[in-house]
Structure 1
Amino acid sequence: MIINSTLVFCIIPELEEAFKGNKIFQVFQSPDKKELIFVTRSRKKEASLFFCAHAEDYRIEILDEGKWRTKKSNYQKTNLFSYAVGGHIQEIKQVDFDRVIKISCLRKSQVGKSIEFDLIFELTGRNANLILVRKDGLIIDSLRKVDITQSRFRQILPGEKYVAPPSPKKKNPFEAEKERFLKLLENRNISVSELLTSHFIGLDQFLAEKIIFETNIHPSTKAKDLNNDTVEYLWKNFNQVFQDIAEHRLSFQIVTDEAGKPDAISCVDLPFLKENQKIFCESLSFAIKKFFSQKLEEQQKRIALKRLSEATHRALRRLEKRKDKIEEDLEEAEKFEQYKKFGDLLMINKNSIKKGEGSVKLVDIFEPQQSLVDISLNVELSPIQNAQAYFKKYKKAKDALAVMKKRKAETEKEILQVEKISEELEGANKELELEKIRKELVDLGFLKDKMIPVKRKEISKDFSPRTFVTKEGSQILVGRNNKENDYLTFKFARPSDLWFHAQDIPGSHVVLRKKDKKREPSPNDIKEAAQVAAYFSKARGAKKVPVIYTLAKYVKKPKKGKPGLALVEKEKSILVEPKLIDRLDNGK
């Protein structure tokens, strides 16, 4: 539960400042019917209220103009809640310290009569809803309709009497009394953290840990194990936290996990967390907006990563299947010499073979043993025609053999490329990295261009190879993927730079940029660059790896070659130990 009762309490003043006194001008709805935007204005201000009723992402936000314009392009005006258009916002309040916000409005009818109504925002998880209610309590409209088959307790339909959601069974922490709090802790065989979160509404795990941390006890400490002084101190800290919240002495922050992914929103500082796990925000509305924006990005990345993984697995299955088929065909094609032999034997023995025979046994005069060989015949052909058919099969198989060997080599290369992409995916967690991998799969023909919904960026603008510096100050650049290898080798490298690659082994392209253009790289520079090339190859685990190197101008892109492929001339070879040098250039 991201939006709890305490956060609802804290956002009320922000909603009042943004919307109180404003007039509702327009209502827009998302295509999936689960999101609404209320555009409001007054003489002094304009603000848009966003409401989301998605089961996991339910929330209320104050939209800034930029975000409103972005959303507006995907939303449509709706007649839903048209009754509210023209209403002036009079009051905004939380209902019974629950996750319910009531916005009371007043508008004039066509005959000048005052009409009062309430917009009730229920931020209750999968049951999140927005209900428009007359002052007499009758429902005018709602975002989600609930009939008797869905709930016997409360029906949410036009004309029905509005019934509030069931009251929370937990206690309101603002109404806690010392005596009852102390009694709550007596002889309870559960942790203090669990006791606090299970007993008080709006008190989540992080608020509980703050109170416990400031009391200087461990979160797993059982309530029954606390002495009287500690219990008194715990009450004091509990009371102080909620007094600060009540008086709006707040510090809004997004809590992230160890990987930097958004985990929760807090309205107070959490001193027990590392600083890099806290993102401080100027307001709660901004924290909510940023939290769900980051959460959406993470969801999109997970979707993209899943689809890319599926695409690489499909590609590998296709390639392995293609390779198996080529090997079967190769096995058949490699019999081409036998077809020629059969043709020659049939020509030599044509006068002794009768038309209409299904097979014939002939002495193999081409073998030292001169054993009998069984040759299948087409009964509709003459002996000479059968010989000619075998000669034709011989020529066809011989021609096909070279093609199939080439196809097999190309397929094996593609398998290595896709395996490398699969390895890259394991460590990819940034949008740009996923986009580069997506482009590689598109270029290889294993993914449709518009399949993955990730923002596109030009590689020339976002070129970010791994960068190292040799002992003598020369720069070593390492491509992170096939697309970047191409850019590094064929666009970025100068003709006089040295290019390195593990010999006959899949790996990254590596470029050694001379510190001084007029001087040749030292043997040590060449050795260090070769070690890096060996390290960023499939042979990383070997003791020694052969690495080729040449001037970048002697590395060419094959015609219609896939990303990462290169033709190398005038290369030299060096045997080195795979090694990652620890001198990074500018932290890259």
Structure 2
Amino acid sequence: MTGTHIDKIYQPEADEMVFNIRSQGQVLHLVLSASASHARIQLSKNKPETPMNPPAFCMLLRKNLSGGKLVSIRQHHYDRIVQLTFEGISEMGDTVERSLYLEMMGKHSNLILVGENGKVVDSIRRVNPMMSSVRLVEPGLVYQLPTHNHKADPHQLMPDGTLSFDVLMRQYEGPLDSALYQVFNGLSPFASHEVLTRAGIDGRKAYRDLEPEEAVCLQETLKSFIRETDSSDGPYFLYRDKSGAIVDFSTVPYVSMSEVDSESFDTLSSLLDVYYQRRDTVDKMKQKSQELRRLVNTDLERARRKLALQEKQIAGTKDRDKYRLRGDLITANMWQLKLGQTKVKLPNYYEEGQPLVDVTLDVNLTPAQNAQKQYARYNKLKRTEEALTGQIKTSSEQVSYLESIMEAISMADCEQDIEDIKQELHETGYLKKAAGRKGKKNLARSKPLEFTTSEGVKGLIGKNNIQNDQLTFQMARPQDIWLHVKDIHGSHVILRTSQLQYGSDYTERTLLEGAAQAAAHSKAVSQGRVTAASVAVDYTARIFVKKPAGSAPGFVRYTHQTTLMVPAEQIEKALTDRNKEQTLTN
């Protein structure tokens, strides 16, 4: 890359810069990210977003670095500090050198432009005395490298090095699975675990508990690992867990990940594009949906408390028949009751043997008035039950609806999905539009998820309630197969079978795969895990699915259904396929 010229400079995010570099007839995108969670430097083929109004730091870099030549790239102390030096022309026509320091240190990550005089021109994140008493980063101050973390450079363990592995390791008393990356620069917990796996040593042990031959083996394994990673020119590996979610990546094949699903890439840049694009998408969606999730969750908790109170109240009406019975017994035995009695035993002529029933009387009321009091209490509880029955139905539907909204938020994978959900909440009255606020630019309605079964049948999955209605009643044909997980919240799933013949064009295998998708996109899955050994999924022809007038978005009634029991293993496979697909599309 050295010797290339900077063509254009963009700042797509508050903590990220992208330089367009022309090299050998092609345009490369150099990403410099000071993100707290995704700090990195990489080449990318993905074209960056270009904000309409470039931030001040972006304008400063354009002024100082546009058209300049990248003359050197240097990593300091084998640590997470990279210095890029550029050669350009000053306003006076003189050749000047400026450096851009990328410090990739978690929440302290920063991108700092330093002039030829060694002073800070500006930074993407200024650090003033109110923020730190250790190191300031402000325009005009002399740039100083961050305080060295006192970790050792593992390259100095090589035959011509000066460091003693044994002395360094004995200074750390903790277990080996944290000792390696706490003692040496350039090692992550993931890489440290790989070194221990290759050496065949239990990471729970402390270094001081190792046998001499184990200590020698660990040192030689670390040296070999460093040499291998330094000389690696591909392929590079991306690892996924059982659900298909990305776990980590490596520049050499990891023995510790031999049993895990992996994907190889010819270039590290293409791997990093996939790895960080998915992580960035997830983080951005969390940020964009955070406030919405909070508001919906507040409404959901309120609805749940209301429902619990109503259910408690209706439980108190279940024994109301005893008051009617007492009224009947008082009326039947009124001839033998006298004013002033407080308690009597009356025969219950409704039961065989007429057992005696204790009846408490109000001394201030006549027998007839006591009977009416018992009837009044019975009737009040009866009216209460009738009222609460309708209220509980409404509250249950409200809870069910809000839970479906929470599920839709968790499935949202683009800004359009969030806007769809907000629109739905506006229409149902859960969100109010801010008064006097100009409307956002119209975003294209997001599309349902797509999949294809192993028998070649196309399928569609709704990601939110509005999309479920659109999918079921606008996109699906009457004879398409409609699927939904039984009795719990989930997406509507459509199999495009209206022009296909069961038995010749598709079989129960396709139905099971469609049912697995319905289960995978439902509350049957919690935090990426299937919560039961099998999940019941109903399917029927779309023509038998109806939407009641005035019902909430996503709510339907259906008939002529058949229920399939989908094994957890098949649902997990659907989850894996979904996570892989999201990685490719985002």
TM-score band, normalised by shorter chain: 0.5 to 0.7
2-structure distance, mates of 1:251, 1:265: 11
CA distance in 2, matches of 1:225, 1:96: 30
2:10 partner SS: strand
Asked whether the equivalents of residues 35 and 53 of structure 1 are also in contact (C-alpha less than 8 Å), the reply is: yes
Q: How does 1:32-51 map to 2 (within 5 A)?
A: 32=14, 34-41=15-22, 44-51=25-32
Q: Distance in 1 between matches of 2:387 and 2:421?
A: 26
Partner of 1:164: 145
Show structure 2 runs of 5+ residues with no match.
318-366, 373-382, 434-438, 503-517, 525-537, 575-586
Contact 2:293-2:409 at 8 Å conserved across structures = no
Tell me by how many angstroms 1:59 deviates. 2.2
Cα distance, 1:442 vs structure 2: 6.1
CA RMSD after TM alignment: 5.6
Letter in 2 for 1:86: G
* 2:199 aligned residue (206, 215, 218): 215
- Counterpart of 2:70 in structure 1 is 89
Q: How does 1:126-205 map to 2 (within 5 A)?
A: 126-147=107-128, 150-151=131-132, 154-176=135-157, 180-184=164-168, 190-205=174-189
- Cα pair 1:300 1:454 within 8 Å, conserved: no
5 Å-filtered alignment, 1:165-564, equals: 165-176=146-157, 180-184=164-168, 190-249=174-233, 251-256=235-240, 259-276=243-260, 278-302=262-286, 304=289, 307-308=292-293, 310-311=295-296, 314-315=299-300, 317=302, 409=390, 412-413=393-394, 415-416=396-397, 418-419=399-400, 422=403, 425=406, 430-431=411-412, 444-447=428-431, 456-459=445-448, 462=450, 490=473, 492=476, 494=478, 556-563=546-553
Provide the TM-score with structure 2 as the length reference.
Answer: 0.60
Q: Give the counterpart letter for 2:88 in structure 1.
A: R
What displacement does 1:171 show? 0.5
Cα gap change, 1:320 to 1:38, in 2 (>3 Å): same
Which residue of 1 is the match for residue 4 of structure 2?
22
Aligned to 2:343: none
Indicate the percent of aligned positions where both proteins have the same amino acid: 22
| 1:133 CA displacement | 2.6
Question: What secondary structure sits across from 1:422 in the alignment?
Answer: helix
* Secondary structure of the structure 2 residue equivalent to 1:29: strand
Q: Does the 8 Å contact 1:421/1:481 carry over to 2?
A: no
Instruction: Specify the code of the residue in structure 1 equivalent to 2:226.
Output: F
**Equivalents in 2 of 1:288, 1:496: separation in Å?**
40
TM-aligned CA distance change 1:109 to 1:275, over 3 Å: same
SS at match of 2:565: coil
Tell me if structure 2 keeps the 8 A contact 1:255–1:264: yes
Change (3 A) 1:448 1:134: same
2:61 matched to 1:67? no
Q: Cα gap change, 1:105/1:218 in structure 2, threshold over 3 Å: closer, same or farther?
A: same
Bigger Rg over Cα = 1
Q: Distance in 1 between matches of 2:229 and 2:156?
A: 13
- Give the CA deviation at 1:24: 2.7
Distance 1:496 1:321 in 2: 39
Give the Å deviation of 1:21: 1.7
1:134 offset after TM fit, Å? 3.3
Offset at residue 216 of structure 1 (A):
1.4
- Conserved in 1, the CA contact under 8 Å of 2:82 and 2:102? yes
Distance 2:4 2:523 in 1: 63
How far apart are residue 173 of structure 1 and its match? 0.4
> Which residue type is aligned with residue 241 of structure 1?
F
Q: Deviations over 1:169-199 (max 9, x none)?
A: 0110011157811444569754333332221
Aligned in 2, Cα 1:121/1:186: closer, same or farther, shift over 3 Å? closer
Q: Look up the equivalent residue of 1:138 and give its one-letter code.
A: K
Q: Aligned partners of 2:222, 2:142: CA distance in 1, in Å?
A: 39
Map Cα deviations across residues 184-229 of structure 1 (whole Å, 9 max, x no partner): 4569754333332221111221222222111112221332332233
Residue 113 to residue 265, structure 1, CA distance change in 2 (3 Å): same
